[in-house]
């Protein structure tokens, strides 16, 4: 008999006390909530998470920024400046499997909610702290994504050239740090499964960015090369950039000599593959300006969609530059489940969200509830309070 597939969520039974705000922490806890964790989001009374007020755009008076980071969570408002609020927070953290926080270093300790304080009564606790620049010399520095993109080197390699440093068009450092936080939490939970002991997980924006710059960081550390902005070009591969066509821009990302031979064959320029300037990738990188000029002339003769279809058919990595709508349309045409709709009667119908990108065959992500209204799960209110889902606290 074939084994019975597991149907419960991968993280079912895991309670997360989420003191995170804005992006990195909420992104990490949303991913874990999708995988079945019960996430209680602790928010300030009256205002809640800062992102509740970050708009436009708005949907039914609510920020799409907040909505995109907080599904599958419960919301409880606690004033951590009062004895009652702190007592409730400590009780929740005392029985939680995971605590996530991104206050400035030292804040949670002053509130009696630090790891060393909580683990005394909850030795199995996994405690994740997210900071901008770590808990030591950088503790006082503000951890804003744009600031870290600047001081962390990302803006120096992004933009048309070194005179115009440019930020990435999304808070990428926060997202990367949230992913690192989720990985760290899962590793610590696995360790707890084996030993019964929790631990502290620490991630910070600067270290996460330095790790995520991969080949650019390796160029400096291994060879002493300080990378600079190259616009849409790649420092080590050519042709690997944006080209104009008869109607709209097209990306060509040739990674090896075989792909280059296929490219120039379709463009009617087969002799380029034997030209000493272009025969190998290192030579193409050394002569990228000459190569760009030659390819540009050929590509201007037809539309981006024409080139896209023909070049893909011979295995050349190529694609038009899509806007966000076109990107979702492409995912749909490729059969990817990139959008989910969550029933949301309180907001007048369905809440459309980006799907969790992790596909699990036995314990897939679930979408159990839309982003919570502020304080929806306060004790004595309309929600179940800080007890188990659907149960009033004792």
Cβ within 8 Å of residue 105, ≥6 positions away:
129, 131, 134, 135, 139
Integer angstrom CA distances of residue 63 from 29, 31, 50, 248: 19, 19, 10, 33
Measured between alpha carbons, how far is 130 from 145 in angstroms, rounded to an integer?
A: 13
Measured between alpha carbons, how far is 212 from 204 in angstroms, rounded to an integer?
A: 12
Cα dihedral 379, 385, 387, 391 sign: positive
**DSSP letter string over 225-259?**
------TT--SS-SSEEEE--SSS-EEEE--SHHH
Cβ within 8 Å of residue 134, ≥6 positions away:
105, 202, 204, 206, 207
Q: Around Cβ 393, how many Cβ atoms within 10 Å? A: 13
Active-site annotation holds for 174 = yes
Determine which one of 34, 38, 97, 174 is catalytic: 174
Catalytic residues: 174
């Amino acid at each position: 008999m074939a084994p019975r597939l597991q149907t419960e969520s991968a993280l079912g039974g895991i309670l997360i006390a989420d003191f995170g705000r804005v992006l990195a922490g909420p992104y990490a806890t949303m991913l874990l909530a999708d995988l079945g964790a019960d996430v209680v989001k602790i928010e300030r009374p009256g205002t809640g998470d800062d992102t509740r007020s970050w708009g436009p755009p708005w949907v039914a008076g609510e920020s799409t920024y907040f909505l995109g980071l907080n599904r599958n969570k419960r919301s409880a408002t606690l004033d951590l400046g009062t004895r009652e609020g702190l007592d409730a927070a400590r009780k929740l953290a005392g029985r939680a499997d995971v605590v996530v926080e991104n206050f400035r270093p030292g804040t949670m300790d002053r509130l009696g909610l630090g790891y060393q304080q909580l683990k005394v009564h909850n030795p199995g606790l996994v405690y994740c702290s997210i900071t901008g620049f770590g808990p030591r010399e950088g503790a006082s520095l503000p951890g804003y994504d744009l600031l870290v993109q600047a001081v962390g080197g990302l803006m120096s390699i992004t933009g048309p050239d070194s005179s115009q440093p440019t930020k990435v068009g999304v808070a990428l450092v926060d997202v990367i740090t949230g992913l690192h936080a989720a990985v760290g939490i899962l590793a610590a939970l696995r360790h707890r499964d084996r030993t019964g002991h929790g631990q502290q997980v620490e991630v910070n924006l600067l270290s996460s960015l330095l790790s995520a710059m991969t080949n650019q960081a390796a160029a400096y550390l291994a060879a002493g090369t300080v990378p600079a902005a190259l616009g849409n070009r790649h420092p080590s591969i050519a042709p690997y950039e944006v080209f104009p066509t008869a109607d709209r821009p097209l990306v060509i990302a040739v990674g090896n000599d075989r792909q280059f031979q296929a490219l120039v064959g379709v463009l009617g320029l087969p002799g380029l593959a034997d030209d000493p300037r272009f025969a190998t990738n290192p030579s193409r990188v050394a002569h990228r300006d000459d190569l760009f000029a030659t390819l540009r002339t050929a590509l201007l003769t037809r539309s981006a969609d024409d080139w896209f279809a023909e070049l893909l058919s011979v295995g050349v990595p190529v694609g038009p530059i899509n806007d966000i709508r076109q990107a979702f349309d492409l995912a749909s045409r490729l059969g990817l489940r990139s959008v989910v709709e969550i029933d949301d009667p309180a907001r007048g119908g369905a809440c459309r969200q980006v799907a969790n990108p992790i596909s699990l065959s036995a314990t897939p992500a679930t979408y159990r509830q839309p982003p919570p209204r502020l304080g929806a799960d306060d004790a004595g209110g309309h929600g179940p309070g800080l007890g188990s889902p659907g149960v009033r606290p004792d």
